[in-house]
Amino acid sequence: MITIKEAISKKELKTFVKFPFSLYKDSEYWVPPIIKQELETFNKDKNPIFKDADARFFLAYRGNEIVGRVAAIVNWLEVNKQQIKKMRFGWFDFIDDFEVSKALLEIVENIGKEHQLEYAEGPVGFSNLDKVGVMTEGFDSIAPMITWYNHPYYVNHYVEHGYEIEKQYSESKFPFENVKPEFFKKAQELIKRRYKLKALKFTKTEEVMPYADRMFDLFNKSYASLSSFVEITDIQKEYFKNKFISFVNPEYIKFVIDENDRLIGFAIVMPRFAEALQKAKGKLFPFGFRHILKAKKSSKDVIFYLIGIHPDYQNKGVHAVIFNEMYETFTKKGIKTCYRTPELEDNEAIHKIWKHFDPVVYKRRKTFRKDL
């Protein structure tokens, strides 16, 4: 018999966060989160997303043994402002037992029905800056820190419980030697002259901060047309600045401005922290910080986390300016491999940007939905 209990106290939420540590203890590809950061994500007093969203966290037990977990999420910006009556769920992990996954999904579905929502979709987070999708291909490669890893059997559970594919994502990579400057070197000079643009270079994190709010505004504008988009509110900006920018080498943040100092393009690239996080084992102390700082300084692999171009400048080649800046930085750093985060497979614009680098898809993931 499966019993579902809601995780409410700090101790229960910590149990919720730590469940995958046992589920994936024998996996060489799973990357553990930093426990402290996960707990802050779920803390209503620290994460401003809770001003616009509700979330409840559930654990599945068989006797005294924890056998699964799920977060049930309602993003009210999405429901009320966009009129998308979606019940979100994420952080969905379970042993290979249909009874367990069914019990957890039924909790999600019942909450959705209580709020008169139309369908459930997952796995997703609170917003576009959270992890997304159950992995369907690429189980034999290590997961980046910004994605979920899962056992292959997960997909069978979605299908068994009547869920259908909603969105499809791919993750690709390419060796840095594939980047040929002739594809963008001359073009970016022409584009900068034609549109009176300037690329900004940073060496210190504090130099980035005056532009960070504008970056999130541009993120909202450049991603607004995507089917999965939920805007980042003003109150969330400060939270995300503190959460993400400290992980990024300032040299890996590229902004493009026009003659009026208006931000019209940006890219954020992160060092690959996966192996460092495996060594940290979910803890920053006593040695986790050391592994992460070492990766930040010396990793030869990078992940393209975000790239955005103002709608007025899309299809005008502004990405060539960004790529030129990245090329110069990566050449100095001796970068070997470039990875890309999950991208919607129907996002043709982003695929065109990367085509000259001959990327290879090495992971695929999907979200699943069920009408309520």
| Token pair 């030697």: residue | 177
- The answer to whether the Cα torsion of 222, 227, 228, 232 is positive or negative is positive
Asked whether residue 165 carries a pLDDT value surpassing 80, the answer given is yes
DSSP 235-274: HHHHHHHHHHGGGS-GGGEEEEE-TT--EEEEEEEEE--H
Instruction: Report the 10 Å Cβ neighbour count for 131.
Output: 20
Q: How far is CA 48 from CA 42, 43, 52, 251, in A?
A: 10, 9, 8, 28
Strand partners, 238: none
Q: Which residue has the higher pLDDT, 218 or 110?
A: 110
What is the C-alpha separation between 271 and 201, in angstroms, rounded? Answer: 17
Of 82-86, 198-202, 225-229, the poorest mean pLDDT is in 225-229
pLDDT at residue 359 in the model? 93
pTM of the model: 0.92
Of 22-26, 240-244, 312-316, the poorest mean pLDDT is in 240-244
In single-letter form, the type of residue at position 133 comes to G
- 113 neighbors 372 (Cβ within 8 angstroms): yes
In single-letter form, the type of residue at position 3 comes to T
Report the pLDDT averaged over residues 161-175. 96
User: Which tokens hold the place of 39?
Assistant: 């707990």
Report the pLDDT averaged over residues 301-308. 90
Q: Which helix (H) or strand (E) segment is 170 a member of?
A: strand 164-175
Please list, in sequence order, all residues whose beta carbon lies within 8 angstroms of the beta carbon of residue 260, skipping any fewer than 6 positions away.
none
Q: Which helix (H) or strand (E) segment is 15 a member of?
A: helix 10-23
Count of residues making up the chain: 372
What is the C-alpha separation between 157 and 332, in angstroms, rounded? Answer: 47
What is the C-alpha separation between 200 and 166, in angstroms, rounded? Answer: 38
Of 136-150, 169-183, 219-233, the poorest mean pLDDT is in 219-233
pLDDT at residue 143 in the model? 84
- Per DSSP, the three-state class of 45 is coil
Range with the largest mean pLDDT of 78-87, 109-118, 236-245: 109-118
- 358 neighbors 237 (Cβ within 8 angstroms): no
Asked whether residue 151 carries a pLDDT value surpassing 80, the answer given is yes
* Domains observed in the chain: 2-170 (3.40.630.30), 175-363 (3.40.630.30)
- Per DSSP, the three-state class of 27 is coil
Share of the chain above pLDDT 70, in %: 99
- Give phi and psi for 364, each to the nearest 5: -135, 150
Q: How confident is the model at residue 228 (pLDDT cuts 50, 70, 90)?
A: low
Q: Which residue has the higher pLDDT, 150 or 295?
A: 150
pLDDT at residue 285 in the model? 83
What is the C-alpha separation between 296 and 249, in angstroms, rounded? Answer: 7
Strand partners, 58: 6, 70
pLDDT at residue 262 in the model? 93
Report the pLDDT averaged over residues 289-295. 88
- 142 neighbors 362 (Cβ within 8 angstroms): no
pLDDT at residue 176 in the model? 94
Could you tell me whether strands 263-271 and 198-200 are parallel, antiparallel, or unpaired per DSSP bridges?
A: unpaired
Could you tell me whether strands 301-309 and 337-340 are parallel, antiparallel, or unpaired per DSSP bridges?
A: parallel
Q: How confident is the model at residue 364 (pLDDT cuts 50, 70, 90)?
A: very high
Closest CA to 86 of 367, 347, 289: 367
Q: Which residue has the higher pLDDT, 143 or 26?
A: 26
pLDDT at residue 210 in the model? 85
What is the tens place of the pLDDT at every residue in 53-105?
999 999 999 999 999 999 999 999 999 988 999 999 999 999 999 999 999 99
Q: How many CA atoms, within 13 angstroms, populate the side-chain half-sphere of residue 78?
A: 24
Q: Which residue has the higher pLDDT, 371 or 314?
A: 371
Q: How confident is the model at residue 336 (pLDDT cuts 50, 70, 90)?
A: very high
Q: Which residue has the higher pLDDT, 353 or 83?
A: 83
pLDDT at residue 227 in the model? 62
pLDDT at residue 280 in the model? 92
105: left (phi over 0), alpha (psi -120 to 50) or beta: alpha
Q: How confident is the model at residue 32 (pLDDT cuts 50, 70, 90)?
A: very high
- 1 neighbors 62 (Cβ within 8 angstroms): yes
Q: How many angstroms from the chain centroid is the CA of residue 282?
A: 18
